[in-house]
Structure 1
Amino acid sequence: MNRPRPECILTDIEGTTTAIAFVKDTLFPFAAAALDGFLDAQGDDPQVAAILAEVPGPDQRATLRAWMAADAKVTPLKSLQGLIWRAGYEDGRLHGHLWPDVASCLRAWAQAGVTLAVYSSGSVPAQKLLFGHSVAGDLTPVFAGFFDTTVGTKRDPASYAAIAATLGIPPADILFLSDVAEELDAAAAAGLRGCQLVRTADGTQPCPRHVQAADFPAVARLYALPAPVAPPVATR
């Protein structure tokens, strides 16, 4: 059944546009391995110092490593990880993973006049690095906005209301794409529409509370959006 076409698509990253394994097995270990060297070299930089000022405890590195081990969704950690990943993206050691169906759909939706935005627990700089240095090229120009935990947590309806207000788009005209049912619940509570991406390679568990799609072309079919055939994209 076709549903009304949204004015805006707000997308999650991990498990939605990008394999969970890329974040867990590539980005996180990269940041953990580079942490000490980065802080030794950049700890006095004003931007880094400002982040460290938000890290509690007498041993800030121990706190950061504990947060990393717990995959804590805390802004200082996400901001610091973003700075570490920037060096890797810029020198070619990292390339942002996207599922092969994602880039062509995003470009087609933007060209068709749909406002696109990103909401992820990863920092805005980290989001821009992933999409700017993706395996499909620089996708940052297709997005009108990037949002992270500074707007609120992803399971809080107030976060989605704040995003809608910032974009200037009524919540009911925004479609949120995520693999996480609880995030979709929060978006729905704020009046957004939602669609769960159920990517079998990531082992996502379907939630009967939400509309489901296997990939971005399936989203397009559900919501009367253009759905180009995406050429194979090599992952790195």
Structure 2
Amino acid sequence: MSTTVAARWVVLDIEGTLTATSQVHEVLYDYARPRLGPWIDAHPDDPAVAAAVADIIREADLPADAGTEQITTVLHAWMDADRKATALKTLQGQIWQDGYTRGALTTDYFPDVVPALRTWHDRGLQLAVFSSGSVTAQRASFSHTTHGDLRELFDAHFDTANAGPKREPDSYRAITAHLQAPPEQIVFCSDVPAELDAAAATGWHTLGLARPAEPFADADFGDHPAVTSFDDVHLEATR
């Protein structure tokens, strides 16, 4: 069934919405996992790395003088549990950025994604991202794709550090304030019903992505319009 929405901003989830879950859990996670410890050791004077390490020690209740091996063990456990810890996302984002810069990583999207993004952009819609992956990781992932560098398509990036948890309405209120648009002029696209619930609670339009073979393919999207592809979505820019 086709869905039509008029909006000024399109805010997009990434995993399960733009890319297959395997792109994150297999390609990106497998790339970051063996590099976490060496990355920490190689960047002791990087303020972001130091802050992430301090957060990990605090959140995991490790000794203040915990070594890299202990910290890495925690990070691997968090990855196994798919925990959306900001400190983990910070380190992963730096590692992925380096990987994309080196040409070791390339982002692949569902076939309908890039044509839709370009069409919406050409129609005057503004595109933003809200992902649990860090802003650094988001920008890196769009920089080196099977369709080239897509960064110019996006006007804003949000993560759990600058907006908040993806299942909390306050996060969407924070994004609304940043975008300086009425909530009814924002549409959020995600494969996770709980995230759509939080966005809808703030007055946003919502669109569920029930992509075949993805974890939320058979989820109950309730009152949220849901499609299996952006080919079934018609977005128009509000005037």
Q: TM-score, normalised by structure 2?
A: 0.88
C-alpha separation between the residues in 1 aligned to 2:183 and 2:236? 19
Higher strand share: 2
C-alpha separation between the residues in 2 aligned to 1:4 and 1:74? 33
| Paired residues for 1:86-105 under 5 Å | 86-105=97-116
Counterpart in 2 of 1:146? 157
How far apart are residue 208 of structure 1 and its match? 3.1
How far apart are residue 7 of structure 1 and its match? 1.1
Q: TM-score, normalised by structure 1?
A: 0.89
C-alpha separation between the residues in 1 aligned to 2:130 and 2:165? 10
**Unaligned 5+ residue runs, structure 1?**
226-236
Counterpart in 2 of 1:80? 91
How far apart are residue 51 of structure 1 and its match? 1.9
1:124 aligns with 2:135: yes
Counterpart in 2 of 1:23? 24
Does the aligned pair in 1 maintain the 2:3–2:225 contact within 8 Å? no
C-alpha separation between the residues in 1 aligned to 2:191 and 2:29? 20
C-alpha separation between the residues in 1 aligned to 2:95 and 2:104? 12
1:219 aligns with 2:233: yes
Does the aligned pair in 2 maintain the 1:2–1:224 contact within 8 Å? no
Counterpart in 1 of 2:204? 192
How far apart are residue 33 of structure 1 and its match? 1.5
Amino acid at match of 1:92: G
How far apart are residue 60 of structure 1 and its match? 2.4
CA offset digits 1:80-130 (Å, max 9, x no partner): 000111121111111012112111211121121101100000000001111
Change (3 A) 1:196 1:2: closer
C-alpha separation between the residues in 1 aligned to 2:39 and 2:5? 48
**Unaligned 5+ residue runs, structure 2?**
64-69
Counterpart in 1 of 2:56? 55
C-alpha separation between the residues in 2 aligned to 1:3 and 1:15? 21
C-alpha separation between the residues in 1 aligned to 2:42 and 2:149? 29
Counterpart in 2 of 1:42? 43
Name the SS of the counterpart of 2:178 in structure 1: helix
Name the SS of the counterpart of 1:125 in structure 2: helix
Does the aligned pair in 2 maintain the 1:96–1:129 contact within 8 Å? no
Counterpart in 2 of 1:176? 188
Counterpart in 2 of 1:5? 6
Counterpart in 2 of 1:205? 218
Change (3 A) 1:101 1:60: same
- TM superposition outliers: structure 1 runs of 4+ over 3 Å: 1-4
Change (3 A) 1:4 1:81: closer
Q: How many residues align?
A: 223
Quote the RMSD (CA, aligned, Å): 1.6
Change (3 A) 1:36 1:173: same
Name the SS of the counterpart of 2:18 in structure 1: coil
Name the SS of the counterpart of 2:188 in structure 1: strand
Amino acid at match of 1:195: L
